[in-house]
Amino acid sequence: MGKQTGAHIVWDWNGTLFHDNDAIIGATNAAFAELGLAPITMEQYRALYCVPVPKFYERLMGRLPTDAEWEVMDETFHRYYAEHRVRCGLTAGAAELLVGWGSAGRSQSILSMYVHHELVPLVRGFGIEAHFLRVDGRVGPSGGSKAEHMVRHLGALVGVDPARTVVIGDAADDAVAALHVGARAVLYTGGSHGRASLEVVGVPVVDTLEEAVEEAQRLAA
């Protein structure tokens, strides 16, 4: 990636670089159907979604799912998602932004809560793996926060200063994870959260990835 200038972006994957909203809402409704819950719209999802995921289900069910219900819903979600993600692609302009950031001597990586052994070949399949110092997905049970994963991710990146690192993601939890390690965050409205739920976090909120990268450059200067 050439001589690095110190500024670093940690990209989220689902809903950020990877435009998979249709697969996500379909998988969510498939999981709900297993428990006899009514389907929800993308607008409802974006208004109510939160991490940890069982709390999201609590908002819709009026109670936390039991352990058995969670296992059924989680398995159904991931099975449906794996079948339908093949119809999804990169967010418009994402590939060009990755090239531009790296060409300027800056570094970047991916940290996703999508399972690691499926994330890596998916990123590789889009031909963009070479842009990243690391590609890390989730190892371990699903449903938790990204914060501790961010600690391990940045700890594995040699020469990356958290103070000059910006996390770009589509969920409030991305900002929480960034603040947990002393990094900055920019939140993108094109994924799992609507603008109203993102703005309460208190970090910059943008409508395009191009704006997100411009804001990251400013924050990491």
CB atoms within 10 A of CB 150: 25
Residue 2 has pLDDT above 50, yes or no: no
Predicted TM-score of the model (pTM): 0.91
pLDDT tens digit sequence for 135-155: 999 998 877 789 999 999 999
**154, 165 contact by CB (below 8 A):** yes
**112, 119 contact by CB (below 8 A):** yes
Q: Is the dihedral of CA 78, 40, 201, 144 positive or negative?
A: negative
Element (H, E) at 75: helix 67-84
Tell me the helix, strand and coil percentages in the chain, rounded to 5. Answer: 50, 15, 35
**166, 184 contact by CB (below 8 A):** yes
pLDDT confidence bin for 1, thresholds 50/70/90: very low
* Cis peptide preceding 52, ω within 30 of 0: yes
CA atoms within 13 A on the CB side of 70: 16
Residue 110 has pLDDT above 60, yes or no: yes
3-class DSSP assignment, residue 90 = strand
Residue 118 has pLDDT above 80, yes or no: yes
CB atoms within 10 A of CB 206: 20
